[in-house]
A and B are shown apart, each in its own frame.
Chain A
Amino acid sequence: MEKYAILISGLSLIVSVISLIFSILSKRKASALARENTKLANGMLELEVRSSISDSTFRVNEVAMKMNSLIAKRKANEISEVESIELEALKNNWRSAVQGMLNAYDEACTKYIDGKVDKERFKKNYHVEIRNLLESAALKEFFDPHTSRYKAILKVYNEWENLEQ
């Protein structure tokens, strides 16, 4: 009878160990899956960021192309009254398009600051672009350290370029 008791407790132990191993494996698998999902989510977010920047840049280019054509006509005194009105309207669209592009970069930088994207990859992809924005003479008015609405861009630029801070 005692033999059976020892055998049963031995078997229970083996079953428990097997169960434990399965639990560990299952947890590992779940963690790996979670990591994969996080990577996938980060990847999706990074694509979203790039897509938003591309769309806003495309908009700037689109307005610029229309304006260039009308500006050339105005310079050659070949602009019609309707085209002249269109050019004035485009001047308003122009500022809004440029601000839209800066908003997209600012949103991207916010995601970087909040740690929602892979920091190393983000820096590799956007280092030059952010520096170009801040060092562009045409965009200088948007990046006054005291009045700028684009705080996230300024913060990221300072982090990457002013290492002593």
Chain B
Amino acid sequence: MASMTRHERALYYAQRLKSSQDIFKEAAKIKKEIDSLIWSKDKTPLPLKEKLAILNEVKRIIIHGERSKEGLLLIEAGDNSGILDVIDSIENELKQGT
């Protein structure tokens, strides 16, 4: 997966589903995206087991939420470290002259 851990990606998908107006359409888009995921390390496609693990993690986050020690939803608190990793990864690729 490109510069995101399974959990970070699941959190990102869960946020998208929660804020979506058409949950069915968004779920279809996410499914398509998960299908096209590749490992950033060797660019090979993700195995089915990993894809299912992401979906299970999304389900877990949506059902049980993502709680901090204070009992507050981390989704509400906001965390941009995932997107900054993504930016870092793309910028590195661009510097390498891709």
Contact = CB atoms under 8 A, between A and B. Distances in A.
Interface of A: 50, 53-54, 57-58, 60-61, 64-65, 67-69, 71-72, 74-76, 87, 91, 94, 98, 101, 124-126, 128-129, 132-133, 136-139
Contacts of B76: 125
A133 B85 CA distance: 11
Contacts of B80: 57, 129, 132-133
B38 A138 contact: no
Given A54-B15, A68-B40, 6 more contacts: A61-B86, A67-B93, A74-B98, A75-B43, A125-B76, A132-B84
Contact of A139 (B79, B87, B92, B98): B87
A71 B36 CA distance: 14
A136 B19 CA distance: 27
Interface residues of B, number: 28
B77 A125 contact: yes
B88 A137 contact: yes
B81 to A, nearest CB: 6
A50 B38 contact: no
A71 B43 CA distance: 10
Contacts of B79: 128-129
Contacts of B83: 57, 60-61, 101
A103 B89 CA distance: 21
B78 A129 contact: yes
A65 B2 contact: yes
Nearest to A51: B19
A76 B36 CA distance: 16
B22 interface: no
B6 to A, nearest CB: 16
Nearest to A90: B90
Given A54-B19, A71-B98, A72-B38, A60 B86 contact: yes
A133 B87 CA distance: 11
Given A60-B83, A61-B12, A132-B80, A69 B90 contact: no
